Amino acid sequence: MDKTRVIKFTMKNSTAVLFVLIFIMFGLIAPRFFTVKNFQNIMSNASYIGIIAVGMTFVLLTGGIDLSVGSTMYLCAVVCGKLINEAKMPVLFAVIISLLVGVLIGSVNAFAITRLRLVPFITTLITQTIARGFGLFITRSIAVNYPDSVTLMSTSKVLGFIPLQIFIFLSVVAVAAIVLGKTRYGRQLYAVGNDLESAKKAGIRCDRLIASTYIISGLLAALGGFVTITQIGRVNAGFGSGDEFDAIAAAVLGGASLFGGIGTVFPGTVLGTVMIEMIQAGLVFANIDIYIQPIIMAGIIFLAVFIDSVRTTQIQKLERRNILKA
């Protein structure tokens, strides 16, 4: 493999390369970081943000944004908890209803954006406030505790070795990756994100497509909310607050463009999500001063996004040289 090929390969997979480098770096600082158990913890903790980030990737692909996911998580988790605790509803039904609440919020976003022609940023900012408002109204700001039957789910294993939350995350990723990469729907999403007008001229029903991404985002936010409550067992008023930005950061770190048309769920968003969680875990493992941790965290994310932004130009340059050589 010649030097140019190596550089090109590194450039094309910069996020993955950085991911491996960070993993090795923290492993060298704290050898326990290399354990399977630690990687399982990282994956487990990344699961809920990862699920939300997958939904966010769908929205970002169309050039939109969904700021309501954190509040959607909160409202859905509140509804689920109330149904289990007060209506004594079986967990499965309560979860299904809470997922439907997520779909409903996504539908409101979709309706406002595609029918009322409101800007996604403002629309989802409004639904963010409304969803949290409803949640606070229902709970009166009092924390909702979940029974052991729910929290025990976080310790259950699928096929005897995959923690439930990781299984749900990987299932969501698998379905999303297939939908985006192998279906007409996925190809149309990229087309809409790349050039809306051209997509319309090509006969794609853009509004319906865009609407579907917000509904998917709402559904996955609700699912992400449930996954995290199985781990923490309690929903208080701050639950999910700011998680929309973590989801956006994960998707963008994984290569998604805020302007639409670019991005993948796998490996993109998955790598972005796990990388953020890995850096946070690594900082704790290395016992870095807690006042320094946010600076290092932000620095590494900046570096990753910076490398990602310059790589496209560099790849184009390298390819141009190859064409000229040929």
Partner 1 sequence: MRKLTVLFVVLCLLVPTLLFSAGGKEAKDDQITIAFCFQDLETEFWVAGHKAITETLRENGIKVIEKNANEDANRQLEQVKDVITQGVDGVIIIPQDGESAVTIAKACNEAGVPIGIFNRPPSDKSAKNLVVVADNEVIAEAAVEHMAQEAMKLGRKVYPAIMVGDLGDPNAVGRRQGFMNVMAKYPDLWAHAPVEIPTKWDANVALANLQSAMQANPKIDFLFTSSDFLFPVIKSVLAPLGKWQLVGHPNHVILGGLDGDVTAAQLLEEKYLDATGVQNLFYEADLMLEAMLAAIKNGEKTPDKWMDDPGFALTQANLDTRAEEMWGWVLYKEKK
280 CB burial (10 A radius; 0-12, 13-18, 19+): middle
Rounded to a whole number of angstroms, the minimum distance from the CB of residue 92 to partner 1 is 21
- Report the residue number, 154 or 257, with the smaller CB distance to partner 1: 154
Binding mask 208-227 toward partner 1 (x if CB under 8 A, else -) reads --------------------
Rounded to a whole number of angstroms, the minimum distance from the CB of residue 38 to partner 1 is 5
> What is the spatial distance between Cα 186 and Cα 52, in angstroms, rounded to a whole number?
18
Looking only at the bridges linking them, the beta strands covering 162-163 and 157-158 are antiparallel
Rounded to a whole number of angstroms, the minimum distance from the CB of residue 150 to partner 1 is 11
Q: Which stretch binds partner 1 (CB under 8 A): 168-176, 201-209, 277-285, 318-326?
A: 277-285
What are the φ/ψ torsions at residue 187 (nearest 5 degrees)?
Answer: -60, -40
> Does 233 engage in binding with partner 1 (CB under 8 A)?
yes
- Report the residue number, 17 or 136, with the smaller CB distance to partner 1: 136
Helix (H) or strand (E) segment spanning residue 287: none
Binders of partner 1 in range 295-324 (CB under 8 A): none
> Does 145 engage in binding with partner 1 (CB under 8 A)?
yes
> Does 27 engage in binding with partner 1 (CB under 8 A)?
no
Question: Bridge partners of 53?
Answer: none
> Does 239 engage in binding with partner 1 (CB under 8 A)?
yes
Measured torsion, CA atoms of residues 215, 165, 50, 299, in degrees rounded to the nearest 10: 150
Q: Which of 173, 276, 166, 278 is nearest to 231 (CA)?
A: 166
124 CB burial (10 A radius; 0-12, 13-18, 19+): buried
- Report the residue number, 82 or 311, with the smaller CB distance to partner 1: 82
Binding mask 120-139 toward partner 1 (x if CB under 8 A, else -) reads ------------x---x---
259 CB burial (10 A radius; 0-12, 13-18, 19+): exposed
Q: Which of 243, 246, 293 is nearest to 269 (CA)?
A: 246
- Report the residue number, 44 or 212, with the smaller CB distance to partner 1: 44
Cβ atoms 76, 104 nearer than 8 A:
no
Q: Indicate the DSSP class of residue 46.
A: H
Question: If DSSP codes are grouped into helix, strand and coil, which group holds residue 157?
Answer: strand
Please give the size of the binding site for partner 1, defined by CB under 8 A: 44
> Does 107 engage in binding with partner 1 (CB under 8 A)?
no
Q: Which stretch binds partner 1 (CB under 8 A): 170-178, 210-218, 255-263, 284-292?
A: 284-292
> Does 45 engage in binding with partner 1 (CB under 8 A)?
yes
Handedness of CA 89, 90, 91, 93 (dihedral sign): negative
Q: Write out the residues near partner 1 by the rule CB under 8 A.
A: 30, 32-33, 35, 37-38, 41, 44-45, 48, 115-116, 132, 136, 140-143, 145, 151, 154-155, 228, 231-234, 236-239, 241-243, 277, 280-281, 284-285, 287, 289-291, 293
